[in-house]
């Protein structure tokens, strides 16, 4: 029963077929069995956090948060030693929305430190493991959230996506993950990595659940200056509608050299499913896409350098006991508190923002970003959707890429363009490779077209059974 979708739980509760306490008990017992194998939690709540007054169609259906989303009165570590003892005194907007909807929070999920990573191995505490193969990574940085959903420890979870951190682990773990349009979900209370790229989104077992959870967390927030002022909408309103005549573009650069042959075959078969349902498929090109990864790692690290300057051992977070003066306190606190990957990105960002290099690196990367935005806008004048693999490969082994940061960064090559241009994109399961590892399909659309993405994704999901396959733990 732990692989029951949230929407099914909701119906069962309405019909009186199960009690709220029974649902909580199911996931608590499941976690007792599998958590020591996958290590998905950083903080597991023996008594779930909830508001007794919260109400919605999904009240009493539990959820897990990535540990960079603030929950007032509970530790928020961001997977980092520097915040190991930090307890936020305020509530993230999405936390309040979830509590207002009556969803009990089971705990905080593991993550790459400050969301910087593609494998979950950069957590300062322990790596999470992929439920499909415990010798492989679950992806990152929302790897804990994805692994917990895939393992049946929670029916759904929240993650954050700066360059693929929801979609890539969703692909590696065989679940559904959505990166909404930038500004669709409030970032207030999300500990910042790269402010112009970060976005909170849902990880779920099904497309319908994903749309329903986005309904809960989306909406304008005056506390977030980047939040879009839009009326509330039902993201699941087009589920089940015919996709006949919808136009799908397949950028040849996203199926080029570097994409594993088994991944390419799975995507081609998925395109055949869409075509059999009446969608129109055509190859297209994004020639400037090759610059996206370089632009991303300049912009993201520059913003990280700025955002992480606040962790200095003064007001909160780790403070070194070995410092004898102010400069030593800064240096020692940050040296002891940050991990290698975070230090690497801070240094890269500080360098690219420094005098004499700003125009050559950061400014140039922002100009490339503008060109990419124009390229995607032009595509969406012709196509309703663009489709690609979510990741060029399936889940790799623990430690396989730890000593080669560039190889690790290349796993994000198909996801980072979406964050740079601010559009919505969803990953859903579309097959398995010869190692029985999940393969993810990425659906991209123009800004604010989440409902259309869900329509197309559910049309595929209803014609296949990949989402019904679960790991044996």
In angstroms and rounded to an integer, the radius of gyration of the C-alpha atoms of the chain is 21
* Bond before 272 cis per omega within 30 degrees: no
DSSP string of 107-144?
EEE--SGGG--SSSTT-SS----BTTBTTB---SSSHH
Q: Which residue has the tokens 């989402």?
A: 467
Options 123, 128, 165, 388, the catalytic residue = 165
Catalytic annotation on 165? yes
Options 66, 97, 108, 446, the catalytic residue = 66
Structure tokens at 345: 């990105």
Structure tokens at 122: 């950069």
Structure tokens at 413: 């090559």
CA–CA gap between residue 81 and residue 296 (Å, rounded): 26
DSSP string of 249-291?
EEEGGGGSTTS-HHHHHHHHHHHHHHHHTT-EEEEE--GGGGG
Beta strand 105-109 pairing with 176-179: unpaired
Catalytic annotation on 66? yes
Are 197 and 163 spatial neighbours (Cβ–Cβ below 8 Å)? yes
121 Cα distance to chain centroid: 16
Are 307 and 190 spatial neighbours (Cβ–Cβ below 8 Å)? no
CA–CA gap between residue 100 and residue 114 (Å, rounded): 27
The dihedral of CA 262, 263, 266, 267: what is its sign? negative
Are 447 and 440 spatial neighbours (Cβ–Cβ below 8 Å)? no
Question: Residues 6 or more apart from 299 whose CB is under 8 A from it?
Answer: 194, 196, 197, 362, 365, 366, 369, 420
Measured from the Cβ of residue 398, the count of other Cβ atoms closer than 10 Å reads 18
CA–CA gap between residue 49 and residue 66 (Å, rounded): 15
Measured from the Cβ of residue 262, the count of other Cβ atoms closer than 10 Å reads 17
Q: Which residue has the tokens 């659309």?
A: 445
Q: Which residue has the tokens 């993950």?
A: 177
Options 10, 141, 160, 302, the catalytic residue = 141
Are 167 and 138 spatial neighbours (Cβ–Cβ below 8 Å)? no
Q: Helices then strands (H, E): number in the chain?
A: 14, 11
CA–CA gap between residue 115 and residue 192 (Å, rounded): 9
Task: Name the residues annotated as catalytic.
Answer: 66, 141, 165
């Amino acid at each position: 029963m732990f692989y029951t979708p949230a929407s099914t739980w909701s119906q069962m509760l309405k019909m009186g077929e199960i009690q709220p306490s029974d649902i909580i008990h199911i996931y608590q017992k499941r976690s007792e069995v599998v958590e020591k194998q996958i290590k998905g939690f950083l903080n597991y709540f023996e008594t779930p956090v909830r508001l007794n007054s919260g109400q919605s169609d999904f009240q009493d259906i539990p959820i897990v948060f990535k540990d960079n989303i603030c929950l007032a009165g509970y530790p928020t570590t961001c997977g980092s030693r520097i915040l190991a003892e930090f307890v936020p005194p305020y509530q993230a907007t999405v936390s309040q929305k979830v509590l207002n909807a009556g969803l009990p929070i089971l705990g905080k999920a593991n993550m790459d430190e400050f969301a910087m990573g593609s494998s979950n191995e950069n957590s300062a505490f322990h790596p999470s493991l992929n439920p499909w193969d415990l010798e492989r990574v679950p992806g990152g940085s929302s790897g804990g959230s994805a692994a917990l959903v895939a393992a049946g420890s929670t029916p759904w979870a929240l993650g954050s996506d700066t360059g693929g951190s929801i979609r890539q682990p969703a692909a590696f773990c065989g679940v559904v993950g959505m990166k909404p349009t930038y500004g669709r979900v409030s970032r207030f209370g999300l500990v910042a990595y790269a402010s112009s790229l970060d976005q909170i989104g849902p990880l779920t077992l099904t497309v319908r659940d994903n749309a329903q959870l986005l309904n809960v967390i989306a909406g304008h927030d005056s506390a977030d200056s980047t939040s879009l002022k839009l009326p509330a909408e039902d993201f699941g309103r087009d589920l089940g509608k015919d996709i006949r005549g919808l136009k799908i573009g397949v950028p040849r650069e996203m199926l080029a050299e570097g994409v594993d042959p088994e991944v390419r075959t799975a995507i081609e078969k998925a395109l055949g499913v869409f075509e059999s349902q009446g969608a129109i498929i055509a190859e297209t090109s994004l020639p400037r896409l090759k610059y996206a990864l370089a632009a991303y790692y300049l912009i993201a690290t520059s913003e990280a350098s700025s955002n992480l300057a606040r962790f200095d051992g003064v007001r909160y977070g780790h403070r070194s006991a070995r410092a004898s003066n102010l400069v030593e306190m800064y240096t020692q606190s940050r040296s002891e508190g940050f991990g290698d990957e975070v230090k690497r990105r801070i240094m890269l960002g500080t360098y690219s923002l420094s005098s004499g290099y700003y125009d050559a690196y950061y400014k140039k990367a922002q100009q490339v970003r503008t060109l990419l935005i124009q390229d995607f806008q032009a595509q969406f004048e012709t196509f309703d959707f663009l489709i690609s693999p979510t990741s060029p490969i399936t889940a790799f082994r623990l430690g396989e890429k730890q000593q080669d940061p560039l190889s690790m960064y290349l796993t994000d090559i198909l996801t980072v363009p979406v964050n740079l241009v601010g559009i919505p994109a969803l990953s859903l399961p579309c097959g398995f490779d010869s190692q029985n590892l999940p393969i993810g399909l990425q659906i991209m659309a123009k800004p604010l077209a989440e409902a259309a993405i869900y329509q197309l994704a559910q049309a595929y999901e209803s014609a296949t059974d990949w989402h019904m396959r679960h790991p044996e733990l």
